[in-house]
């Protein structure tokens, strides 16, 4: 049986519990895309997520075809903020900015992504794929907690995480240290009350 102690540091980051904890997030490579607006109603958001998964699966199959490992596509992640943080805290999603991301294996290169993006954009008629980029993202010190339930009920979990950070003597700026969510469940297949989301908040070290 695999325990948390057996997992590598990156794998452990997606095994959060409902008890807040401090973590240090190392640099990782992501396929990412930026956008603005309500994720529940924005066609651009839906197209961005579709493009991320389509290119990520294309990369998985390209790696395997080249004789590499049969890698697993990582979960969807999102960075969320707003120019006016009061709007963000109030849940005015029309004003939200977002960066949606999927972590990529180390063997995925910019050249491979460029080729796959063009193939997806043309052969699968997904022009939104051309907005994707491959980047290294280093989050550093953060706190995280597992939220179980609908996305709409995250508020108390987020408040508890923020209180935990401040209890440790740290603080954060929502424009710089962006609210981060990792979606372990698929809302199309799971009942809302069974959705599992890691809520992560980076912070400034004193």
Q: Does position 88 have pLDDT exceeding 50, yes or no? A: yes
- 149-192 residue pLDDT tens: 999 999 999 999 999 999 999 999 999 999 999 999 888 888 99
| Mean pLDDT in residue range 4-14 | 69
pLDDT(27) > 90: yes
**Cα–Cα distance measured from residue 139 to residue 25, given in angstroms and rounded to the nearest whole number:** 5
Domain tally, the chain: 2
| pLDDT-derived band at 7, boundaries 50, 70, 90 | low
Average pLDDT on 81-94 reads: 86
Do 44 and 128 lie in one domain? The reply is yes
* pLDDT score recorded for residue 1: 47
Residue in 154, 179, 176 with CA at minimum distance from that of residue 79 = 179
Residue 132 banded pLDDT, cuts 50, 70, 90: very high
Query: CA 20 → CA 17, 45, 142, 199, 201, distances in Å?
Result: 7, 29, 10, 9, 10
Domain that holds residue 83: 28-137
Average pLDDT, the chain: 93
* Domain identity same for 73 and 113: yes
Mean pLDDT of all residues in 40-64: 96
Measured CA to CA, the distance from residue 180 to residue 115 in angstroms comes to 29
Q: Which are the contacts of 5, defined by CB distance < 8 A and separation ≥ 6?
A: none
Domain identity same for 130 and 147 = no
Which of 115, 137, 159 corresponds to the end of one domain? Answer: 137
Percent of the chain past pLDDT 70, that is, above it, reads 96
Q: Is the pTM of this model over 0.95?
A: no
Are 55 and 133 found together in one domain? yes
Please measure the distance between the N-terminal and C-terminal CA atoms of the chain and give it in whole angstroms: 39
Pair (119, 100) in one structural domain: yes
Mean pLDDT of 110-114: 97
The CATH number for 148's domain is 3.20.80.10
At 74-83, the pLDDT tens digits run 999 999 999 9
């Amino acid at each position: 049986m695999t325990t948390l102690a057996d997992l590598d540091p990156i794998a452990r980051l997606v095994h959060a519990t409902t008890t807040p904890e401090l973590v240090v997030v190392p640099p990782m490579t992501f396929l990412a895309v930026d956008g603005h607006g309500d994720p529940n109603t924005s066609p651009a958001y839906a197209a961005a997520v579709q493009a991320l998964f389509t290119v990520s699966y294309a990369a998985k199959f390209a790696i395997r075809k080249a004789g590499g490992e049969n890698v697993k596509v990582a979960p969807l992640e999102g960075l969320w903020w707003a120019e006016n943080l009061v709007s963000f805290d109030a849940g005015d999603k029309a004003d939200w900015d977002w960066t949606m991301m999927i972590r990529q294996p180390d063997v995925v290169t910019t050249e491979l992504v460029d080729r796959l993006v063009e193939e997806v954009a043309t052969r699968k008629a997904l022009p939104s794929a051309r907005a994707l980029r491959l980047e290294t993202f280093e989050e550093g010190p953060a706190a995280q907690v597992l939220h179980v339930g609908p996305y709409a009920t995250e508020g108390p979990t987020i408040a508890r995480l923020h209180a935990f950070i401040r209890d440790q003597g740290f603080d954060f700026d929502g424009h710089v240290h962006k609210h981060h969510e990792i979606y372990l469940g698929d809302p199309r297949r799971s009942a809302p009350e069974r959705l599992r989301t890691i809520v992560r908040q980076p912070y400034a070290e004193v």
